[in-house]
Amino acid sequence: MANSGEELDYVENSHGDRYDMDAWHNGNELVTTVAGSSSCAKKVVVINAPGPINLPWLSSVDGVVFSGMGGAESGNGIADVLFGDLNPSGHLPYVWGELNQYPGSINFNDGDYSTYDYSEGVFVGQRYFDLKGYTPIFPFGYGLSYTTFSFSDLTTNYDSSNKKLTATFNVKNEGSLDGDAVPMLFLKFPTIEEYGENGYPSKLLKGFEKVFVQSGQTKSVTITVDEHALSYYSVKDAKFKMGSGTFTVYIGLNAGKNDYDKINTTVNIS
């Protein structure tokens, strides 16, 4: 486990945000010792933490369950997942990388942890990893299920009257268990002049849906992107403006480059 304090409080000598990404109470040593034991057929690590931690033992275990900072019933929920009584459908709300891949690990001002300059601009989270060409441990939106899903037959339509983009596609449960799929829609904007050719994020999450699909079943899913989500903030004009040109629409289970289920198409908006 790991934890973090607040600005005015200490949690086990941690004042405010965590100073490192290691598990507390010799967690890495504990996992390494258990992983090296032959007395357990399978080793699954449950992580209770407010965010990513270092995983030096990842290749030595059979699975990882990230439970975040659970509440009173988190123990029962984790047990349900571990013993297969519940098919998990959770997805990471952030990118999970190595410490030296995060801009925050090198951009603090002379060790002053109370002040941080966001010099990465709009390239925060997964956007920063994409810009730098970094491969994270787990990309934004990563999450596994006890079944597998595939996407197909993506079509898009732009309603110019209501300034809404809809993407419709099929979700198939190809595994032997019923489960919830969480397809995500990402957009690549056309070139925005004031940001330059490579000055705007290449992939932005603009919508998602959670859909229950029985084993062997296929369901049609539609995700709608409204005017605001089709807009970008113009620093020059100090307001949001609609993007204009050819957008690329991606559908996938996460933002990773190797998400083999990802399908895409283009749509022109003017």
Q: What is the pLDDT of residue 106?
A: 61
Residue 116 or 86, more confident: 86
d(CA 231, CA 83): 44
Confidence tier at 196 by pLDDT (50, 70, 90): confident
Within the chain, residue ranges assigned H as helices are 27-35, 74-82, 126-132
- Among 123-132, 179-188, 257-266, top mean pLDDT goes to 179-188
Q: Is pLDDT above 70 for 74?
A: yes
Could you tell me if 48 and 71 are in contact, meaning their C-beta atoms sit under 8 angstroms apart? no
pLDDT single digits (tens) 142-185: 999 999 999 999 999 999 999 999 999 999 999 999 999 999 99
Query: pTM to 2 decimals?
Result: 0.89
Could you tell me if 14 and 6 are in contact, meaning their C-beta atoms sit under 8 angstroms apart? no
Cα Rg of the chain (Å, integer): 21
CA 66: distance to chain centroid?
Answer: 13
Q: What is the pLDDT of residue 193?
A: 87
Q: Is pLDDT above 80 for 68?
A: yes
Q: What backbone phi and psi angles, to 5 degrees, belong to 220?
A: -90, 135
pLDDT single digits (tens) 206-258: 999 999 999 999 999 999 999 999 999 998 999 999 989 999 999 999 999 76
pLDDT single digits (tens) 44-66: 999 998 889 999 999 999 999 99
pLDDT single digits (tens) 5-42: 556 666 666 666 666 788 888 999 999 999 998 888 88
Q: What is the pLDDT of residue 4?
A: 61
Q: What is the pLDDT of residue 1?
A: 60
Mean pLDDT of all residues in 193-206: 86
What is the per-residue DSSP string for 192-250? BGGGBTT-S-S-EEEEE--EEE-TT-EEEEEEEE-TTTTEEEETTTTEEEE--EEEEEE
Q: What is the pLDDT of residue 120?
A: 84
The tokens of 252 are what? 């996938």
d(CA 262, CA 253): 7
Please name each of the domains of the chain with its CATH number: 10-82 (no CATH), 149-269 (2.60.40.10)
Nearest to 128 by CA among 53, 20, 232, 201: 201
Confidence tier at 102 by pLDDT (50, 70, 90): confident
Q: What share of the chain is helix, strand, coil (3-state, %, to 5)?
A: 15, 35, 55
Q: What backbone phi and psi angles, to 5 degrees, belong to 31?
A: -65, -45
Residue 107 or 181, more confident: 181
